[in-house]
Amino acid sequence: MTWVDPAGLIREAQQGGYAVGAFNMHSEETTEALVLAAEQSASPMFLQVGRAVVPHMGLAAATAMTRRVADASSAELVLHLDHGPWDECLEAIKLGFASIMYDGAHLPFEENIASTRRIVDIAHSFGVLVEAELGRIPDADEQVDWSAYYTDVAEAERFVAETGVDTLAISVGIVHGIPAHDPQPLDIERIVRIREVTGVPLVLHGASGLTETEVREATAAGVHKFNADTDLRLAFRKGIEQVWGAGDRQLEEALAVGRDLMVAATIEKLGQYGCLGRSAVSA
């Protein structure tokens, strides 16, 4: 396994005109699925410890599990904290994460700037990359007024200038989950404008609901990290349901089939993002 520099990884994606995949692990088997997908496809990956697993088992235990699985692999990975509040970000820095996402998007704008700036100062002193979020991302099929959810271009310019964040997650029509009805069209023009005024690589969360065309257009507009989770969890669930649907079977067999289907789903995502075979260890 090779833990890689996240800033260098994003810079290579910018230069190569592709994006890097970022995926959350939820258990031993889902961690294995992500690491196997990165290894088998020779693709770099942000391996994310996120907001679902941390309440379940704690950040330290989830990190130890992730590292144990990754250490047995030849994959090229970044250990990243996803949607971390203040205390989790500080703990992640102490635990040796190379990249963190501080989520202050729920805070008033001025407070978000101030708290993000403090996290950036601390993280950068340890050589840790910082992603932040501006704008609000609704859950799939939640009825929202998109004008109140989109990332404001002028606010994004000021936010990046005053916080010094390395990457910025934005809201441009994406949702958490997969909509059952026609999704909001992705605002590609807004992505272009935000990239122009901020000058930093952009991140899209909720990428499970995007079409391949939207992924390509967003990448060309300045997005170089895509976070996806729902599609991969559904693939894992499908494997478990297939085994248990056949009658009384061992849990381990169901987990193994779920892992295999999640590997395939992850590799498919990596292909959409254009990072297949981009790992330096494949050379």
The full set of domain ranges for the chain reads 2-282
Active site residues: 82
176 within 8 A of 206, measured Cβ to Cβ: yes
pLDDT at residue 64, as a whole number? 97
pLDDT above 90 for 229: yes
| pTM metric for this prediction | 0.93
Fold designation for 2-282: TIM Barrel (3.20.20)
Mention every residue, 6+ apart, whose C-beta is less than 8 A from residue 238: 258, 261
Beta strands in 26-170 (DSSP E): 45-49, 76-84, 99-102, 129-134, 167-170
pLDDT-derived band at 148 (thresholds 50, 70, 90) equals confident
Q: Cβ distance 79 to 93 under 8 Å? A: no
pLDDT-based confidence at 249, cuts 50/70/90?
confident
Lowest-confidence pick of 28-32, 99-103, 185-189, 222-226: 185-189
Mean pLDDT for the chain overall: 92
Residue 191's pLDDT is what? 97
Q: How confident is the model at residue 1 (pLDDT cuts 50, 70, 90)?
A: low
* pLDDT number for residue 282: 40
Residues 161-207 pLDDT 10s: 999 999 999 999 877 666 656 667 789 999 999 999 999 999 999 88
